[in-house]
Structure 1
Amino acid sequence: MVLNMLKALPRVLAGLLCRSGLLLRFVPFCHLATRSLRDVVDGLTTNPELRAVLCYIFPTYGTLPSKTSFSMHSLLVNHFLQGAWYPKGGSGEIAFHTINVIRKTGGNVLGRAPVQKILLDSQGRACGVSVKKGQDLVNIYAPVIISDAGIFNTYERLLPAEARALPGIQSQLRLATHGEGGFSVFVGLNGSREELGLEATNYYLYLGNDLDEIMNRYLSASREEAAKLIPFIFITCPSAKDPTWDTRYPGKSTISILTFAKYEWFEEWKDEQVNKRGDDYEDLKKAFVDVIMQAVFKLYPRIEDRIEYISGGTPLTNQHYIASAKGEFYGMDHNITRLQAETITTLRPQTDVPNLYLTGQDTSVAGFMGAMHGAFMCAGAVLKRNIYIDLMWLKRRTDAAKSTKKD
């Protein structure tokens, strides 16, 4: 609520509130946004296992307990208190149905057309984008440009240097740091959920209960030693969560595994072509995959001889396929600064470039819901109206219609 309110207020008024000290004094969310998760939890209990239990889900936003705020963690925990959901047919259904809505309203969605730059007119206003079509560039013009490429891609890669130097953009960039890089393993299996003993749940596996200590030891290691020190892996079985999976792919299953990895461990190969980065890169990647899979086999021993496909992905993989600037899973780091009032006020959809707006998780917080709230705030900024009020009225009308049908 505070996050949305500060971004909706005029920048001058929001700035006055920040400088007044009233938010820190009277709004618990703002006060706790200045304290680390570890600091608060350590003050609640001396039990190391309980501390770990209270903090274990931090990889969902990608920042260590000592470096993120208690408010950030509280947002996530509150989000999951009523349970979670999984889209029937998999995550691709989200894009599939969204694209239909865009096209019905006269828009379009282009695949394999990466944006190369944001176009500015002679007065410095955003007026279009230049996209790649094969080896050619095609300019597409529009009165409003909305970027969900993230703050780093939008400002540092897509905008020309003169726009990047604008004071408002520089003030936003000063508040932003890159999140931690990620390593992924995707596994295809021959066998059904029942045959392999797979579960529709998420596992967070740790080597110890001092989460900061084991993670810092790993992230400060050399790339040669890192694979032996992997302290955490996240394991999930997407096929076991999807009620339509067995109908579409009988006798097959999937597992996805994630952990952290430093971009710098793999940076040497950043300019090499994907899938052609050489034996040293593949050997390093395999070292991570082998250690990770040994942990997975302990959890799901029946899968060891049923693997039909396995693929490891480094921060460079993320950089190539999802255009994350440093191979991070979640864009901007969710450090203590991220949810402080000044940052919330500064990082808003409006930019110093007229007609250019930011949307997505970097204007809110990570994840599907965070990106959606970023979209609501961006739409409100473009349309100059409070979208949340529209949503409240829509919910009331929907609830009333449901009630009428029941009667």
Structure 2
Amino acid sequence: GITMAHFLDGAAYTVGPTQNISIRSSSLLREMGGQVLVDATVKQIIIEKGRAVGVLVTNTTTTTTDDGTHKIMTEIRARNIVCATSVYNLYNQLLPQNHPVVQEFQNPQKRSIRQSNGHVFLFCKIDGNPVDLKLPTHNLWYFNSYDLDKAFDKYWENPTGERPPTVYIGFPCTKDPTWQKRLPRVSNCVLISDGLWEWFAKWQGTEVHHRGA
């Protein structure tokens, strides 16, 4: 579907690390008079007269009051506000919770949309040069059945006993023409498969790289 259609007419890969995409894009935005702000979390979309006019963000800067230590909130306004998160995050976290459309969305009797499954990523480092290992430049797609609906149903019921319904396998090291000059003795691989949020629910509220600490 959408995953395949976006590159059927051709695809491209960065020369150098993939962070070059954000580096070059941010440079262009600044040249056009814009700003790129990072290291901040959007807490809420500001709504005035039925229109999104800005966002409230928090960053790593804190202030201490009699009530304790709090992250500083900053208001950023713009002509257009584009939300690229999921509809659940939009309605349950970013929009004001007293807004009528939010209350209607949160009403289970009126809501027809349901959450889809997520994905699990595995990033692998491989000893050896991609040429010597004969790693492919093309992507690999694995499907364990012609009946994917049935395969997914079986997998959700028994994720440790059934094979994943789909797996994407790619080797970024074979696509970057500068890879062998930068990292001549290693290769890498990315695997993406299907998963459910419930599998990781017990770690909700913990910090990245400090799960369970």
Partner of 2:114: 177
- Residue 144 of structure 1 and its aligned partner are, at CA, apart by 3.3
Percent identical among aligned pairs is 30
After superposition, the Cα gap between the structure-2 partners of 1:81 and 1:146, relative to the gap in structure 1 and judged at 3 Å, is: closer
Partner of 1:245: 179
- Residue 183 of structure 1 and its aligned partner are, at CA, apart by 0.9
- Pick aligned residue for 1:94 from 21, 31, 37: 21
- Pick aligned residue for 1:159 from 81, 92, 95: 95
Q: Which amino acid aligns with 1:210?
A: D
- Residue 190 of structure 1 and its aligned partner are, at CA, apart by 2.6
Partner of 1:205: 142
Which structure is higher in strand share?
2
- Residue 266 of structure 1 and its aligned partner are, at CA, apart by 1.9
Partner of 1:196: 133
Partner of 2:68: none
Partner of 1:395: none
- Residue 83 of structure 1 and its aligned partner are, at CA, apart by 4.0
Give the match's secondary structure for 1:161: coil
Give the match's secondary structure for 2:38: coil
Q: Which amino acid aligns with 2:121?
A: S
After superposition, the Cα gap between the structure-2 partners of 1:220 and 1:187, relative to the gap in structure 1 and judged at 3 Å, is: same
C-alpha distance after superposition, 1:119-156 (max 9, x if no partner):
234x4543321111212211123343232234332232
* TM-score normalized by the length of structure 1: 0.44
1:131 aligns with 2:26: no
RMSD: 2.9
Partner of 2:154: 217
- Residue 81 of structure 1 and its aligned partner are, at CA, apart by 4.2
Partner of 2:41: 114
What is the CA–CA distance in structure 2 between the aligned matches of 1:178 and 1:194, rounded to whole Å?
A: 42
1:146 aligns with 2:79: no
Give the match's secondary structure for 1:195: coil
* TM-score normalized by the length of structure 2: 0.78
User: Any stretches of 5+ residues in structure 2 without a counterpart?
Assistant: 61-70
Partner of 1:287: none
What is the CA–CA distance in structure 1 between the aligned matches of 2:77 and 2:114, rounded to whole Å?
A: 31
- Residue 174 of structure 1 and its aligned partner are, at CA, apart by 4.1
What is the CA–CA distance in structure 1 between the aligned matches of 2:36 and 2:113, rounded to whole Å?
A: 29
After superposition, the Cα gap between the structure-2 partners of 1:83 and 1:101, relative to the gap in structure 1 and judged at 3 Å, is: closer
What is the CA–CA distance in structure 2 between the aligned matches of 1:84 and 1:143, rounded to whole Å?
A: 32
Counterpart mapping for 1:18-97 below 5 A = 61=3, 76-77=4-5, 79-97=6-24
Give the match's secondary structure for 1:198: coil
After superposition, the Cα gap between the structure-2 partners of 1:143 and 1:235, relative to the gap in structure 1 and judged at 3 Å, is: closer
What is the CA–CA distance in structure 2 between the aligned matches of 1:179 and 1:90, rounded to whole Å?
A: 31
Q: Which amino acid aligns with 1:162?
A: N
Q: Which amino acid aligns with 2:46?
A: L
How many residues of Structure 1 are paired with residues of Structure 2 in the alignment?
A: 199
Partner of 2:65: none
1:187 aligns with 2:114: no
Which structure is higher in helix share?
1
Give the match's secondary structure for 1:109: coil
What is the CA–CA distance in structure 1 between the aligned matches of 2:160 and 2:139, rounded to whole Å?
A: 22
After superposition, the Cα gap between the structure-2 partners of 1:205 and 1:120, relative to the gap in structure 1 and judged at 3 Å, is: closer
1:269 aligns with 2:203: yes
Q: Which amino acid aligns with 1:157?
A: Q
Contact map agreement 1:198 1:240 (CA 8 A) in 2: yes
Q: Which amino acid aligns with 1:181?
A: G
Contact map agreement 1:88 1:244 (CA 8 A) in 2: yes
What is the CA–CA distance in structure 2 between the aligned matches of 1:119 and 1:87, rounded to whole Å?
A: 36
C-alpha distance after superposition, 1:172-203 (max 9, x if no partner):
x9464333111111012232102222111211
What is the CA–CA distance in structure 1 between the aligned matches of 2:8 and 2:51, rounded to whole Å?
A: 44
Contact map agreement 1:90 1:238 (CA 8 A) in 2: no
